[in-house]
Structure 1
Amino acid sequence: MFWHHALLALLASGKALAIGQETCLSFEPSSSAFSIVSKGKAAQIFVSNDEWPGVQLAASNFVSDIHSVTGVAPSISNATANSTSLHTASFPIIVGTLGKSSLIDQVVNNSKLDVSSIQGQWEAFMTRVVDNPLPGVKKAYVIIGADKRGSIFALYDHSEQAGVSPWYWWADVPATPHTNIFVAPSGCSHGSPTVKYRGFFLNDEQPALQNWAMEKFTNGTGAALTGSPFNHFFYTKLFELTLRIKGNYLWPAQWSSAFNVDDPMNQFLADFYGVVMGTSHEEPMMRSIPVEWGLFGQGPWDYETNSAFIYNFWVEGVQRAKPYESLYTVGMRGNGDLPLGPTTNIALLEKIVSDQRQIFTDEFPGVNITTIPQVWTLYEEVEGYYDEGMRVPDDITLMWTDDTWGNMRRYPVLSERNRTGGAGVYYHYDLVGPPRDYKWIQSTQISKVFEQMSLAVDREATRVWIVNVGDLKPLEMSTEFFVNYGWNATRWNLNNLDTFVSSWAQREFGLDAQDGKEVAAIVANMTTFLARRKPELLNSTTFSLTNYREAENVAAAWSATNQSAARIYNKLTTAQKVAFFQLVYHPVQAGYTLTNMWIAAGQNNMRAFQARLSANNLADQVEALFETDYDLEHEYHSLLNGKWDHMMDQTHTFYSYWQEPTQNMMPPVQKVSSRKPNIFGAMRITPEGTLAAWPGDNEYQCSNGYNCPPPAITLDAFVPFGSRYIDVGMGGSVPFTFTATPNVSWAKVSTSHGSLSASNPEQRVFLSVDWSKVTGAEVAEIWFNATATGISSFQLPVYLTANHTTVPSTFKGFVEGDGTVSIEAAHATRNTTVGEVTWTEIPNYGRTLSGVTPWPRLGNNEANYTAGTGPSLEYDFYNFNTIGQAGNVSVEVYVSPSWNANGADRPLGLGVQVDSQTPQVTYFFPTPPPGADPPQWNGNDGYVANNILTFSGNFTAWPGAHTLKLWMIEPAVVVQKLVINTGGVLPSYLGPPESVIIS
């Protein structure tokens, strides 16, 4: 048993941890508490022998869990109401399913226990301390499930509260030790879950999951027919995890695998454990496509020409699955995740579904086939079939999908919400496809998942949820959030999302509340940085190397997050470090390393172009970071003597198109000669904000590209950074000393001199202004003088214009700096509510800070507003300039790339207004062809690659104070940022940093 003093504070709190569920366990006695374990003794556990096998298995696992927490193993045995062992037990625990367990039914009948709250409910449970539950039994703790999984979830919920993470095997989370475990007399309970079927999809299994499973679960050969390693030894680990995180549904691995063919025990054991099996959107009638068709099919996968054989192929799939609890995919797609054909034949597609229904009728005699769970997944072109008029019977669930990048294409509209089959969601955390695969590390924000899936809850798409998790690892936390939210959507809202992560951190790593909050901040930062552009899409110029210090600030933010993660990591025990490395530290370090590598490569190429010797150090840094990237992969694979070998095999650098490269490649770097003097002297001067360097000619100094004047920069009083910098560097082999001397007292330099050599080839000099000494716009000369042995001294002036802009003392709001007013959308001056609808912040969402969205989304009776009548956000701003000084500004609005998911007749829109001018209304998401993406969605610079959509409008705003207004039109729009261009906005990935706010 593993114990550690770092857990003492947690132990002393006596508080059980369970995510998304009320707790009833504690670790300190009270006068009324029931003892599960106390003073080295455990209550005996009894299960009826006519109970579901999956419940008996979960009860056995519960015993193991209690032992791993306390070091004491409760005894467990089958019993009837008359069993001697039950009568002689001191305060036993009785577990079972209502209507299945004869023991539980006798307890209910004998004690008159009120079970009406769970009777007939899907997966509900209740627990109670019951007096005189059976003749001769004085008191017992009774755990009752309304059905098989209700009992299973009750047991695993108690395990989690006791201190066993659902990820104890899959992420090696150590149990939290406790000496005693008690339960409140009132027990725990849970009604039917929000989403009936909740689970995940293993997909894109090469190169990581499949190679790992081959090593760990086979002799290296895999299944006889498929070569797949995904046998029942693998899947039983997965079934248990699914149930422990309150899931009940699984789409199995499909590429080079076939669930029922790989191992005939797979389907049987899924049902034994209590997991409902399905198949993916392209695999109808419980048959694996393309693998099973490749093995057993005859002729083309074309129902128009080969219907007889395909029909029988489906019959065999239903016959194989019908003894077990299954959710059948209906419809048909092309072989290999492709459209069915070049044209849409709705009549044929509807015949396919009709024939599939006939199979159900024939294979389930006497059963109303509307009670057989069926789903039609409207994925890609299939949604187009629906849009063009294809319909399926009302009892078939319509599963709506995202765009494979986490943005839902559609939700049920009002007219679709009365279908008896209801609606569901297919969502993605992992993708192989355009514009770029993303499979490596976690790059999904749970705030985004909440925003999209809470819309699914609001719009009643709650019958089936499935999320594509690729290899599962390293998407553990986000996978649990998806399933947990479907288990009980009422538990989570915009105000407590952070507590999911902080509670998760406390549960997984034994942290106190404060450190749990720090981990929540680490995870929020990490996923923000990785979601703003997937790691696989990064390149050396993603973040601006010259404007707004963007690349440097991105690197600095990563560094701070990595340091915070290191602090937590270093205080953990050895066992906790293994889990923390997998779940938090590795993705932070990996993202930090990769991003720094790309930024350093960009800086290297830029500095080499500028003939700065420091480019060489950056080239070395790129190479070192490239090696560190592999070191982290190797460290992951070496954990616990190689338990997770291959799980980080995924390549993630230097993609040439959407598909993964076969090997990681280092970004190209350049070096400057360290032995040759620079022909224009020893010193290189590079001002902030330019690709140019002086002296000598280059194309970025001025439009001529030669005979250009000395560098000049401008600083106004409201630039967010409050300074400009000059990089002084070596241009070759000659070391030198330098001085920086302003010609006026108001110009300040951070250092007035320096000495540069091969070991220190670069120094940054910050320029700032004593604004009390400047009126209007004044110009200073800062003379940079270089002195080197054996060569003539060299001088170069840099001209600094200080523009002392001022605002009236009565003004409150955002102030222009650098020719722009940049605003985070959450920082509104005023937020006006209409009826019950108000703009609300989604924390830790999007690319920079957060998002704002109208809430509740079903407010105003789901009706929209006209611009100027609905809820509004107002932002007071003050500008000094206009574009071309002609009185106009442009307003660019950064919105999430959300689709028109409430139907084509309800496109997302937003009204933008400056002062009393007429609001400009924009419906920003283009209408795509049926079942396809708009052109702007795709590409390396499209909506999803950039994880943002922007639109702009022009307004009159002469210098002075103004108000920018955003008007709600449609719900579900999410605004992240606003940029008012007064003539100086520069290119960047994230947009200008937020402007100075006077409050």
Structure 2
Amino acid sequence: MEAILVKDQKAAAFVMEDGTFEGVYRITEKVCGDVEQVTGVRPKIIKWQGELQPAQVYVATLGNSEMSEAIAEEEGIELSSLCGKRECFLFQVLKNGSLLIAGSDKRGTIYGLFHISELMGVSPFVHFADVVPAPQKEIIFSEKDSMQSKEPSVKYRGFFINDEWPAFGNWTFSHYGGFTAEMYDLIFETLLRLKGNYLWPAMWTSSFSLDGPGEENARLADCYGIVMSNSHHEPCLRHSEEWDLVRGEDSVYGNEWSYLTNREGLIRYWRDGLLRSGKYENIITIGMRGERDSLMLGEDASLEQNISLLKEIITEQRKLIRECVGENEPEMLALYKEVEAYYYGDETTPGLKDWDGLDGVTLMLCEDNYGNMRTLPTEEMRSHRGGFGMYYHFDYHGSPVSYEWVNSSYLPKIWDQMTMAYDFGVRDIWIVNVGDLKFQEYPLSFFMDLAYDYEKWGSSRIHAPQDYLAYWVKREFGGWFYEAQQDAVYRIMQQYTKMNHNCKPEAMRADTYHPVHFGEADKRQKENERLEAETEKLLSSVPEEMLPAFWELVYYPAMGSANASDMQLYAGKNSFFAKMGAVCANDYAEKIKACIEKDRLLTERFHQLLDGKWDGMALSEHIGFVNWNDEECRYPLMTFIEPANKPRIFAMSEGGDVCTAGGDWTKKLIVMRQFLDPAVSEASLLLFGGSKEKVPYHIECKSPWVLPGKMQGVTDREEVLTVQIKRDEITDWENDHRTYDFEVCYEGGRIPVKILLEKDLPGCPAEAFYETDGMLSVEAEHFICNEKADAGAFYVLPEYGKTLSGVKAYPQTKTFFEMAEQIRQAPKLTYQIYVREAGEYEMICYTAPANPVCQGGSVYFGCAVNGNAPQKIEMIPDGYRSGEPSCAEWAKMVVDQIRVVRVQVTLQSGENEIGIYAGTPGFLLEKLTFVRKGKHLPESGLGLPETRRTNR
């Protein structure tokens, strides 16, 4: 059996009956538009005549359709499996060559209609990101396409348009005259194509229920089956901006946003909001906060006073809802910022947690605004009637640094954190702050698909982030791009999102990555060069039809991010070399200028796409934030130096930061420490010009084992001088150590260079990571043994975190031990390391940002050295307050995207085994670094890179 939708330039008609929901009819028209865009033929929509005809598409909603019952009886189809289900649809090829789409409810029917679009290769962003579907001459569905959809994993799934100025706001005013129904029609359609059903509308300067014009926004949302709600500080279907429109000394609502002094005015204000908008489908926000996202009673009020007042307010609000809207209306209380403290209370003040006044209310939990889970429902709390929601962020306007430009949310982290929320029982509402929505299409797709089908993308699928990116690339570009082009898009998306995850563009500074230590600035720049080169190369081969989509989804965010990164990397080098007096500082200043111009040009070109269709959407500031917001943000400082009037050369060992021009008075010595690693036989000495003219130099070296890359040369800017060591020929070792000297000589001075060497490591195990110069580093996935426990096991999370990957124990809801004597029962990872000297070492554990997931709880793991008694390692310091800008520990963690835990350990000379045990939820290890006491670990953004294994 097959159902022909389009063939030979003829299209099957869509059949609907009297009483069809208006929203279903509207979506049918949009799907007909999709068919036309794919095939060039637009199907007609006709009325049901009471008889089943061949080659038609029948669209029905159970409980509102005699047609579906007649078709089911004639075709022998069982519809009972749909009855009572939430948002499900049957997609059935009929025996007579027709197609039946039957929804269990309005949204189910709409999802079924958009399933046609999905099968035709139409992207959910066909309009919002201009993803043009590939043309097809015919559309035919076979019996294998027949299916019944599942119920969504999360009941309410959606996003919050927020922080909408200057980008989204300017765009919608210039194209739609404001936050109107015409604009929201595009937003609603995109949400439904993503299988979402829930929206918090823009609210900085707009009122959803007034700007349609009038109630047209709310009416249209209800027509489509979109469940509307309001943000955490907008109760009773009122919008934040509405209050300023109606308040006043002579207003019936009063003038003060204070329940203590204006109780009757606020009750009337809330009642009128419920009477106006309660006829539509909503989740009604309850509770109260201060104006403009502030405290309700101010800093001086006690916890007890706040809780008591909030109870009174909620009681009155729920009474109003019953009177004005009805019984059992969905209600939500957001436990955001200070409200969370009111919910839990403290040792002396009971909170709202056990108060029966919240029975049936969905409790909206919130991460820390930077994508890291905070308190999650305990097993006891999960029985709460009303369930739990999660408010997540891809965009944030607040301390310590706002992020509102292109996507900086990394799929592996989103997957890790949101699967944790789901596994902890947060399954009723998922809402994500997407800012302007533009440039968040990729992470939003994942967020929505994870919420819709957790069984497919959830915690049982460790490679879900990688698999999803491949799926997303194919969905958006597969109709036009060859496999090699799709692979390139995959790499570009992966690289730029990880780069922005490691440091959000707004937060990046000239010193985020050190200009010389570990060569990390050079490595970042080379990665950026590869990213930009691959993106530019791919752009040249993109079909014309897909150029706008490629620009919007890939080119602008990737190129803009790489350029913003380069700008700060050049600034770091400019500052470093200017302090040295090297002429190359001026070159880096010019490169900063070029990056600034490129940033402006990229924005201009984006705004010109499709005759300015998205003009305004790229206006968000994104460089050089010095405050939490964009106030006083600035481009990097550019320092220009005046070259010396006499010959001058500076020298520096690669990766080091000591430089000298070889003067008699300063007598600085350049030490090349790279050869302390027995595997290194070649390293680099860096030469920098400091004069107006080129300066000749020559090398003086007496050792036959030291081979400079050249013995003479001329430098005026930067030069890399390679130095080789003939390790195999050295005969004069001194207790496995050796030093050699040479000099770089020029007219202005003689630069002394000392080379330090270590001989091979005696008896070092084949898989051991060995110490060089008192330090070593191991990526978390490079354990030698992964021991499962009865309660769970560690798993490697590919590409997680700032460097290579992460390891985490599952089930992720499990606390594997509480007391130190229980540690050995937990899952264990063993790492093998080798050090030359016994003694005290600092073990630096780089872990994913983590907050306690239970009120008053902690995050910890276990550690044992060489089989000794394990220690319980607490990761959370006293006084820690997640989400509080005044907490320096939290602020540093979220900006750096890493938590650093330092543990003092005693190591023996030679081989050592380090055991890491799973502890609480939230512990996710990325890297281990060991530093011998007395040694200094150089500053850097990513820490000491992984050192070598013996056999590598």
TM-score higher than 0.5: yes
| Counterpart among 542, 552, 568 of residue 538 in structure 2 | 568
Alignment-derived partner of residue 555 in structure 2: 585
- 2:611 aligns to what? 641
**1:71 is matched with which residue?**
40
User: For 2:843, what is the secondary structure of its paired residue?
Assistant: strand
Q: Deviation at 1:116?
A: 2.9
Q: Which residues of 2 match residues 746-825 of structure 1 at below 5 A?
A: 746-757=705-716, 761-774=717-730, 775=733, 776-786=736-746, 792=747, 794-808=749-763, 810-825=765-780
- Which residue in the other structure is 1:29 paired with? none
**Structure 2 partner of 1:279:** 230
* Alignment-derived partner of residue 394 in structure 1: 359
Structure 1 pair 971/408, CA: closer, same or farther in 2 (3 Å)? closer
1:283-294 paired onto structure 2 within 5 Å = 283-294=234-245
Q: Does the 8 Å contact 1:741/1:783 carry over to 2? A: yes
Equivalence for 2:72 = 108
- More off after superposition, 615-624 vs 179-188: 179-188
Kindly indicate whether residue 688 of structure 2 is the aligned counterpart of residue 688 of structure 1. no
- Specify the code of the residue in structure 2 equivalent to 1:946: D
The DSSP-based 3-state class of the residue aligned with 2:195 is coil
For the pair 1:253 / 2:193, whether they are aligned, the reply is no
The answer as to 2:681 corresponding to 1:728 is: no
Is 1:911–2:862 an aligned residue pair? yes
Alignment of structure 1 residues 572-651 onto 2, 5 Å: 572-651=542-621
The Cα of 1:647 is off from its aligned counterpart by 1.0
In the alignment, which residue of structure 1 is the partner of 2:901? 951
Residue 874 in structure 1 maps to residue 856 in structure 2:
no
Aligned to 2:807: 852
Structure 2 distance, partners of 1:198, 1:128, is: 26
Match of 2:217 among 250, 260, 266: 266
CA contact (8 A) 1:99 1:105 kept: no
Q: Deviations over 1:2-51 (max 9, x none)?
A: xxxxxxxxxxxxxxxxxxxxxxxxxxxxxx43322233332222112211
User: Deviations along 1:350-374, whole A, 9 cap, x unmatched?
Assistant: 111111111122114xx4x2x2111
Q: Find the counterpart in structure 1 of residue 161 from structure 2.
A: 202
**C-alpha spacing 1:340/1:418, structure 2 compared with 1 (3 Å):** same
The Cα shift of 1:449 comes to 0.9
How far 1:863 moved relative to its partner? 9.0
Secondary structure of 1:261 counterpart: coil
Shift of 1:862: 11
State which drifts further: 550-559 or 209-218: 550-559
Where do 1:319-398 residues align within 5 Å?
Answer: 319-342=275-298, 343=301, 344=303, 345-364=306-325, 367=326, 369=327, 371-388=328-345, 389-390=351-352, 391=355, 392-398=357-363
* Counterparts in 2 of 1:513 and 1:869: CA distance versus 1, 3 Å: farther
> Quick one: structure 1 residues 697 and 109, their matched pair in 2 at CA, closer, same or farther if it must change by over 3 Å?
farther
Q: Which amino acid aligns with 1:880?
A: R
User: Residue 213 of structure 1 aligns with which residue?
Assistant: 172
Q: Offset of 1:209 from its aligned partner?
A: 0.7
Q: 1:121 is matched by which residue type in structure 2? A: K
Q: Distance in 2 between matches of 1:719 and 1:540?
A: 34
Question: 93-102 or 423-432, which moves further after superposition?
Answer: 93-102
Give the partner amino acid of 1:871. Answer: P
Task: Give the letter aligned to residue 462 of structure 2.
Answer: L
Distance 1:67 1:750 in 2: 66
Q: Pick which of 599-608 and 809-818 moved more.
A: 809-818
Matched residue, 1:98: 62
Cα separation, 2, equivalents of 1:926 and 1:498: 34
| AA in 2 matched with 1:415 | E
Cα deviation, residue 188, structure 1 = 2.7
* 8 A contact 2:662–2:752 mirrored in 1: no
- In structure 1, stretches of 5+ residues that fail to align are 1-31, 132-137, 219-228, 699-705, 787-791
* CA contact 1:258–1:292 (8 Å) conserved in 2: no
Query: 1:837–1:860: 8 Å Cα contact kept in structure 2?
Result: no
Is this contact kept in 2: 1:748–1:769, CA < 8 A?
A: yes
Aligned to 2:473: 505
Give CA deviations for 1:875-904 in whole Å, capped at 9, x if unaligned: 11111235xxxx111111111121111443
Offset of residue 305 of structure 1: 1.5
Pick aligned residue for 2:919 from 941, 953, 969: 969
* 2:488 corresponds to 1:495: no
Q: Distance in 1 between matches of 2:662 and 2:579?
A: 12
CA distance in 1, matches of 2:385, 2:155: 13
Question: Does the Cα contact within 8 Å between 1:720 and 1:993 map onto a contact in 2?
Answer: no
In 2, Cα distance between equivalents of 1:437 and 1:616: 31
TM (norm. structure 2) is: 0.93
Query: Which residue matches 2:873?
Result: 922
Closer, same or farther in 2 for the Cα pair 1:858/1:683, shift >3 Å? closer
Q: Distance in 2 between matches of 1:171 and 1:810?
A: 54
Counterparts in 2 of 1:618 and 1:146: CA distance versus 1, 3 Å: same
> Post-superposition shift, 1:491?
1.1
Contact 1:889–1:957 under 8 Å retained in 2: yes
Q: Partner of 1:214: helix, strand, or coil?
A: helix
* TM-score scaled by length of structure 1: 0.88
For residues 964 and 936 of structure 1, the distance between their equivalents in structure 2, rounded to whole angstroms, comes to 32
User: Aligned-pair distance for 1:962?
Assistant: 0.7
Alignment pair present for 1:671 and 2:637: no
What is the alpha-carbon distance in structure 2 between the residues aligned to residue 862 and residue 794 of structure 1? 63
SS in 1 for 2:587: helix
Task: State the one-letter code of the partner of 2:740.
Answer: A
Alpha-carbon distance change, 176 to 925 in structure 1, aligned in 2, over 3 angstroms: farther
CA contact 2:648–2:748 (8 Å) conserved in 1: no
Kindly report which structure 2 residues correspond to 1:52-71, keeping only aligned pairs within 5 A, or say none: 52-71=21-40
Match of 2:551, as an amino acid?
Answer: F
CA distance in 2, matches of 1:590, 1:400: 33
- Identify the range of structure 1 (726-735 vs 461-470) with the bigger mean alpha-carbon deviation: 726-735
Aligned to 2:937: 985
Q: Does the 8 A contact of 2:420 with 2:813 survive in 1?
A: no
Residue identity opposite 2:82 in structure 1: I
Displacement, 1:713?
A: 2.2
Q: Secondary structure at the match of 1:868?
A: helix
Is 1:888 the counterpart of 2:840? The answer is: yes
- For 1:763, give the aligned amino acid: E
* TM-superposed deviation, 1:570: 2.3
* Aligned twin of 1:179: 137
Structure 1 Cα separation of the partners of residues 206 and 663 of structure 2: 61
Match of 1:146 among 94, 104, 107: 104
Code of the aligned partner of 2:805: S
Deviation at 1:751, TM superposition (A): 4.0
Aligned partner of residue 524 in structure 1, secondary structure: helix
Pairwise CA distance, 1:318: 0.8
Q: CA RMSD in A?
A: 2.3
TM-fit CA distance, 1:807: 4.0
Q: Secondary structure at the residue paired with 2:93?
A: strand
CA distance in 1, matches of 2:37, 2:642: 62
> What CA deviation, in whole Å up to 9, does each residue of 1:838-894 have, x standing for no partner?
111222221112211112224689999932221011111111235xxxx11111111
What is the aligned length? 918
Residue 317 (structure 1) shift:
1.0
- Which segments of 5 or more consecutive residues in structure 2 lack a partner in the other structure? 248-252, 346-350
Contact 1:384–1:932, Cα closer than 8 Å, also in 2: no
How far did residue 398 of structure 1 move?
A: 0.6
Query: How far apart, in 2, do the equivalents of 1:984 and 1:805 lie?
Result: 23
Q: 1:551 to 1:121 in 2, by over 3 A?
A: same
In the other structure, the counterpart of 1:702 is: none
